[in-house]
Structure 1
C-alpha cells in the first residue's frame, strides 16, 4: 500500500495485480510505504477505512481517495494457481503442485475452500461485503495503461514499470462446467471486475 500525502491518494495493493511492480516504481515518491508483512501491504479497503484513514486524519490529512486495480477473475485465479505451483511450496498445504487448474477453480468456488485454493476475494478486497464498491477509483488489470495514465496525471510523473513477481507461464485449462460454477458461486467477483474502468 502506498500513500501519497500531497495528492491525497492511497494506492491499494490487490494481490496478483501488478502491485509489486508499482511499488518498485512509486515507493520513492510515496510518503508512506506499507510493504511488510503481507497483511499490511495487501490491506483491503475495510482495514484502510478502519485503521489507516483515522491515523491520517489524526495527522491533519483529509479528503484522501483510494485507487486499486482488479484482474479478470479467471485470469486472477490462474495467476494464483501458477504462483502456488512453485517448488518452494512443495509439501505445503498451499501448494497447487499436482492440482489441475480446473480442480483449483472448482475448489475455490466452494464456500470454504481447501488451503491451496483459499486466495481471498477481489470483491471483498474493494467492497463493503454487501456488494457495494468502496474504492474511489477502480481499474482493470487488462487495461493497465488506463490505470497508469490515471496515476501519471494524479502524481504528475512518468511511470516506468519493471517486470517483477511474475508467475510462470502455464496453460489454464478450465472446463465449461467449472467455469459456470465459478460464475454462479462467485458472481460478485465478476460483477466488481465488470464495474471497473
Structure 2
C-alpha cells in the first residue's frame, strides 16, 4: 500500500485525515473518499498540508463554518520503510534520466544522501516529523497511528465512521528487496532521530 494522497474531511464525525506522503494509501482514499464530506485533491499545498499549515489556514475556516474544532488523524511509517517506499517509487521507468531518479543509486547511498542537510533532489523527500509537529515540537494531531498497525487504525476508523473498510492495493511502488547496512542505519538513526521519535509516539496496539 501507499499513502492517502488526499486530505479527507468527515464533517459529522468531526475528523480530518491528513495525507502524510507515503504513509497511507490510495487504497484508503478509495475506501473512504465516497464517505467523506470533503476531499481535498488539489492543490498539493492543501491536499498534503502539514499540521502547521492546516492549523494556520484550514482549521480557522472549519471552526468558522461549523463552530467546532475538528480532530486530526494521521498515519506515520517506520522511517526505514518510509524511505524504502520513496526509493522504490523513484526507480520507476518514467523517471530515468530525471534528477529525482534513484535507478542508478543504491539504497544505502540514497539514505546517506537523505541524512545530509541539503540532500540531492533524488533524496529530498521531506520529513514525517516536520509534517506532524507544530509550535516548539508539539505533536499536531490527536490521533496518530503506525502504518504497520493496519488493524488498529482501520478498526479506529470503522468505529469512528460507523462503516466497514475494505482496502484494495492501488498504485503500488515497484517491488524489490531492500536492505540497509548496519552502518548506514546507525547514521540514519543519529542524524534523523526525530523521525524515529515521532514514529515511536504512534499507536500500534
- Which TM bucket (shorter chain)? over 0.9
User: Is the CA contact (8 Å cut-off) linking 2:14 and 2:71 kept in structure 1?
Assistant: yes
Alpha-carbon distance, 1:75 to partner: 0.4
Structure 2 residue corresponding to 1:124, chosen from 114, 119, 130 = 130
SS in 2 for 1:146: helix
Which structure 2 residues correspond to residues 15-26 of structure 1 after superposition, within 5 A? 15-26=21-32
Count of residues paired in the alignment:
197
Alpha-carbon distance, 1:143 to partner: 0.4
CA RMSD of aligned residues (A): 1.2
C-alpha distance in structure 2 between counterparts of 1:191 and 1:56, whole Å: 30
Which structure 2 residues correspond to residues 65-76 of structure 1 after superposition, within 5 A? 65-76=71-82
- Provide structure 1 residue ranges, at least 5 long, that are not aligned to the other structure: none
Match of 2:199 in 1: 193
2:114 paired with 1:108? yes
SS in 2 for 1:59: helix
Q: 1:169 to 1:112 in 2, by over 3 A?
A: same
TM-score, normalization by structure 2: 0.92
C-alpha distance in structure 2 between counterparts of 1:186 and 1:94, whole Å: 21
| Structure 1 stretches of 4+ moved >4 Å | none
Alpha-carbon distance, 1:37 to partner: 3.2
TM-score, normalization by structure 1: 0.96
Match of 1:96 in 2: 102
User: Is the CA contact (8 Å cut-off) linking 1:138 and 1:196 kept in structure 2?
Assistant: yes
C-alpha distance in structure 1 between counterparts of 2:77 and 2:90, whole Å: 17
SS in 2 for 1:10: strand
- Provide structure 2 residue ranges, at least 5 long, that are not aligned to the other structure: 1-6
